[in-house]
Structure 1
Amino acid sequence: MASAGAAVTVVERCAVSPPPRSVPPATLPLTFLDIPWLFFSPTQPIFFFASAAAAAAANFTQTVVPKLKHSLSLALRHFFPLAGKLVIPAALSAEPHLEYNESDSVLLVVAAAADGCEFKNLAGNHRRDGRRFRRLVPEIGGGDGGKRPVLAVQITVFPEMGICIGFTLRNVAADWRTFNNFLKNWASLCKSGGDLLDAGRHVASHDRSVILDSGGLRSFFLTEFWKMAKNVKDVNFDDSEIVRATFVLGPKEMEQIKKWILTRSDLLFGSTQLLLSPYVIVCAFIWVCWIKTHWSTNMITRKDIVHYFGFIAGGLTRMPYAVPSTYVGNCVGFGRSAAIREELAGKDGVVFAAKAIGDTVKKLNGDMLGGARNWIAEWKEMRESELHVTVTGSPKLDLYELDFGWGRPEKFEEVSIGTGAISLSESREVIGGIEVGVALPRLKMDAFSTLFNEV
């Protein structure tokens, strides 16, 4: 795990399970909304908390770590699939599933950074060396005998400065809504000292029957998975030449972009009504900045190449039937928008991008499952295409409201984004703003920053 920047030393590695005899063994089938996530590498979110008191050496080892362990155990009682395993049998006749046994646990790594002052550097929006973040998330491993851990956690203390909590999560067990519910439950238990006896009673539902499959998508997706299973591997990004930066778009900038789109849309699309939500506006602007960044350094001159923008759409309000907000598992749809290079790279690029993304959102709003049989094939095509962009995270998750007793996070980062992905979250400082996490080689980050600042 060698990397640039201050050294991080592992102090402890331990296994955290739900309280003894609190959760019976369980096997959970994968629904058709879980199966597509078998093709994705784990997500790796990080939260930085600025608290000199909590990060004091004695307080951290004697008070903070034991409290985090205890409250994590209590939270896993209600979110036990996260402590279990993803089982992928070797035989085609068997089905991948989630499994929990009383011997299962979450790997918890406790670490210490040599330089506490490094906290301020890492927990900022400015450019930072991408390699420095890899030391702050745990390795989850592939597991033995087809059984893969679902979640690993790393707590890193920056002496006298703050605490960082990093995760490696296989989304096949939980979408971001579920994971956010888990985090809030864990944080509440930690902040209260574990005194919330009823915490979790009404925040976790494991009833897989609520995901109805009238279209036979589960069987179809399983067939698609077994066709490609041997090529499904976790991706390890090379961060040696990568810098990370966070860009913020507030309501003022969004309104400027929206006005420009509306000014040009009548000329390009006539009376067509565009869907111009803050999410669509931000994604459209970032997509165009991304394409123009790579266009300037790309030797290929063809202008008719199709570029894709992929994102996830929440399913609670889009499914044709009710799914409880407390459901533990996946309830999201997949969206893929397409536009040709000449459109995206031209002066009206943001307008074309907004129409493409907005039209995709409209389709998902109207019938989220209407094109579901194409999800896996479309995303495979997108990943194999040139200069595609995918989005992880959502500005609707209120991640900056997470509080373990040290106040709101100073910064959120998604480490798993490579040079073909961005992360989105709500802004900590700008009301109604959206933070965009970007990871690019240095020269391309120069170009991207220039384009972004033209808004």
Structure 2
Amino acid sequence: MAPTTKIKLIELSSVSPPPGSVPATSLPLTFLDIPWLPFSPGQPLFFYHFPMSTLQFTQTVLPNLRQSLSFTLQYFFPFAGKLVLPPEPSKPFIEYTEGDSVSLTVAESGGDFSYLSGDGQRKFEDLHSLVPKLPDGEKDTLLAIQITVFPGCGICIGFALRPVVADGRTFDNFLKMWASLACKNRGEDLHYPAAIIDRSVIHDPSGLESTFLKEWWSVKNSEKKGLFHSTRSNFPDMVRSTFILGRPEMEKIKKWILLHGTKQMFLSPYVLTCAFVWVCWMKTHWPNNADSEEVHFFGFIAGGITRLNYPIPASYVGNCVAFGRLGAIRKDLMAENGIVYAAKVIGNTIKKLDGNVLEGAKNWISEWKMLLESDLHVTITGSPKLKFYSLDFGWGRPKKIEVSIDEMRAISLCESRDVVGGIEIGLTLPKSKMDHFTFIFNKCLNNLF
């Protein structure tokens, strides 16, 4: 389906760290980076209400953004580097040399800014046109940025980021430093976290690196680009929608679970949201086959900063996340108390990860591959703990954030902009499925009490 809004290219440039600020560096991947090698780039979008003409933006705002981005890359130089894939069985690494850069595209859109930055159904291809393309080459570029101006309305800053270089926490730190430096250039005195590149802070006592490398090369050799692929691209009518669960809705879900479950269950806002959305997803996709004994898996990301048994700086640049996976039988998820069952298995898995975040880690890559290539399974991306809506470049908070609009069969979560304690849920589905999911989502909420 072709985009209904046209994008006009205004400017294409490259932004590097200040000359001489970063020496040539070869940065090894840690065992926590390697599992992300097969993944396609994340594609987050940040919409800002910022009414001005394209000419005004390029003349008065863009120079500051470009300069502050350059200074930020001095501290986050791996983002400007390249991913190098040496011959098997060698380990890939990130290489930075003088002049390496991040691609920065400036474009103009004639699209409806309010529509694209809203919560309702939006055509996937319209949003996808706001995402930059990572340049192809012998060595993989790690980050590209596109700023799209909607004259008189606002702007959208879109990213394509290979997850091997950074987890959500690192990306959040990068954005905060960029925004802080942009504001500082405007005379505002703000602070940003230091960036720690030293990879020796990550320890591999179980020797997982060799296991992950072996699995990575197996994936790389068996697939065209070594990337986990989605089953979604066959649908031409994909739409994106956002749903919000606030504290009142979460309390309803929690009361229902406690009424039909046990008081010993772990029921954080994250668990409540995941359980509710998973059951709605199941009822959307399998309305006529609810009694099946088929096992469905649910995958999510678990932070490692607070779960590993040794200290890691919060400003560490790289990946420090683990993978959680759990299975449930379809008929149990589709039953009247399916939300109770879902909350129990999700909560129990999180408690296990709290005790040993690397339990079962040797199977991470194979399990991700299985999850992402089957319609039976669901994955969660993003985290409500990352305060992306606080990201202010001097124009106020974002009007809307899409954690990632990629075609991966995943559900994204982030904090709500306007609902205190709420969680925004993002989905990309064929329109007919999205219509049905919306009906189920609202029906399930109304039927709880």
- Match for residue 174 of structure 1? 166
Return the alpha-carbon distance in structure 2 between the equivalents of residues 384 and 161 of structure 1.
39
- Match for residue 246 of structure 1? 242
Return the alpha-carbon distance in structure 1 between the equivalents of residues 71 and 62 of structure 2.
14
- Match for residue 432 of structure 1? 421
Q: How does 1:200-219 map to 2 (within 5 A)?
A: 203-219=194-210
Q: Deviations over 1:322-356 (max 9, x none)?
A: 00001000000100121011011111111111111
For residue 21 of structure 1, give the secondary structure of its aligned residue in structure 2: coil
- Paired residue total: 439
Q: Deviations over 1:31-62 (max 9, x none)?
A: 1100000121110000000011xx32332010
| Structure 1 residues 212 and 415: CA distance shift in structure 2, 3 A | closer
- Match for residue 354 of structure 2? 365
- Match for residue 115 of structure 2? 121
For residue 37 of structure 2, give the secondary structure of its aligned residue in structure 1: helix
- Match for residue 152 of structure 2? 160
- Kindly state the Cα deviation for residue 234 of structure 1 after the two structures are TM-superposed: 6.3
- Match for residue 350 of structure 1? 339
Q: Does 1:137 align with 2:140?
A: no
Is the Cα contact below 8 Å between 1:71 and 1:190 reproduced in 2?
Answer: yes
Amino acid at match of 1:92: E
Is the Cα contact below 8 Å between 1:417 and 1:438 reproduced in 2?
Answer: no
Deviates most, 187-196 or 170-179: 187-196
Q: Deviations over 1:112-142 (max 9, x none)?
A: 1124xx1111010111111101110111134
TM-score normalised by the chain length of structure 2: 0.94
Q: Does 1:67 align with 2:56?
A: no
For residue 453 of structure 1, give the secondary structure of its aligned residue in structure 2: helix
- Kindly state the Cα deviation for residue 3 of structure 1 after the two structures are TM-superposed: 3.2
Is the Cα contact below 8 Å between 2:229 and 2:408 reproduced in 1?
Answer: no
RMSD: 1.9
For residue 39 of structure 1, give the secondary structure of its aligned residue in structure 2: coil
Match of 2:298 among 299, 309, 320: 309
- Kindly state the Cα deviation for residue 274 of structure 1 after the two structures are TM-superposed: 1.2
Return the alpha-carbon distance in structure 2 between the equivalents of residues 192 and 257 of structure 1.
44
Structure 2 unpaired stretches of 5+: none
Match of 2:104 among 96, 103, 108: 108
- Kindly state the Cα deviation for residue 422 of structure 1 after the two structures are TM-superposed: 0.9
Q: How does 1:311-330 map to 2 (within 5 A)?
A: 311-330=300-319
TM-score normalised by the chain length of structure 1: 0.93
Deviates most, 242-251 or 386-395: 386-395
Q: Does 1:291 align with 2:274?
A: no
- Kindly state the Cα deviation for residue 415 of structure 1 after the two structures are TM-superposed: 4.1
Return the alpha-carbon distance in structure 2 between the equivalents of residues 198 and 396 of structure 1.
21
Q: Does 1:381 align with 2:375?
A: no
Quote the sequence identity (%).
53
Q: Deviations over 1:192-233 (max 9, x none)?
A: 217789966x52001100101111011111111112212222
- Match for residue 86 of structure 1? 83
Return the alpha-carbon distance in structure 2 between the equivalents of residues 293 and 371 of structure 1.
31
Amino acid at match of 1:135: S
Return the alpha-carbon distance in structure 2 between the equivalents of residues 195 and 160 of structure 1.
25
Return the alpha-carbon distance in structure 2 between the equivalents of residues 391 and 385 of structure 1.
15
Is the Cα contact below 8 Å between 1:189 and 1:195 reproduced in 2?
Answer: no
Amino acid at match of 1:19: P
Q: How does 1:385-404 map to 2 (within 5 A)?
A: 385-404=374-393
Return the alpha-carbon distance in structure 2 between the equivalents of residues 407 and 261 of structure 1.
39
Return the alpha-carbon distance in structure 2 between the equivalents of residues 221 and 379 of structure 1.
12
Return the alpha-carbon distance in structure 2 between the equivalents of residues 409 and 114 of structure 1.
20
Q: Does 1:445 align with 2:434?
A: yes
- Kindly state the Cα deviation for residue 241 of structure 1 after the two structures are TM-superposed: 0.7
- Kindly state the Cα deviation for residue 414 of structure 1 after the two structures are TM-superposed: 3.3
Q: Deviations over 1:278-326 (max 9, x none)?
A: 0000000000000110012x6x676011101110011111011100001
Is the Cα contact below 8 Å between 1:16 and 1:106 reproduced in 2?
Answer: yes
Is the Cα contact below 8 Å between 2:24 and 2:98 reproduced in 1?
Answer: yes
- Kindly state the Cα deviation for residue 4 of structure 1 after the two structures are TM-superposed: 2.3
Structure 1 unpaired stretches of 5+: none
- Match for residue 35 of structure 1? 34
Deviates most, 237-246 or 313-322: 237-246
Q: Does 1:261 align with 2:253?
A: no
Is the Cα contact below 8 Å between 1:136 and 1:166 reproduced in 2?
Answer: yes
Amino acid at match of 1:310: G
Q: Deviations over 1:84-115 (max 9, x none)?
A: 011111x2142101111112100000001124
Amino acid at match of 2:114: K
Return the alpha-carbon distance in structure 1 between the equivalents of residues 187 and 31 of structure 2.
37
Return the alpha-carbon distance in structure 2 between the equivalents of residues 103 and 93 of structure 1.
29
| Structure 1 residues 382 and 419: CA distance shift in structure 2, 3 A | closer
Return the alpha-carbon distance in structure 2 between the equivalents of residues 397 and 341 of structure 1.
32
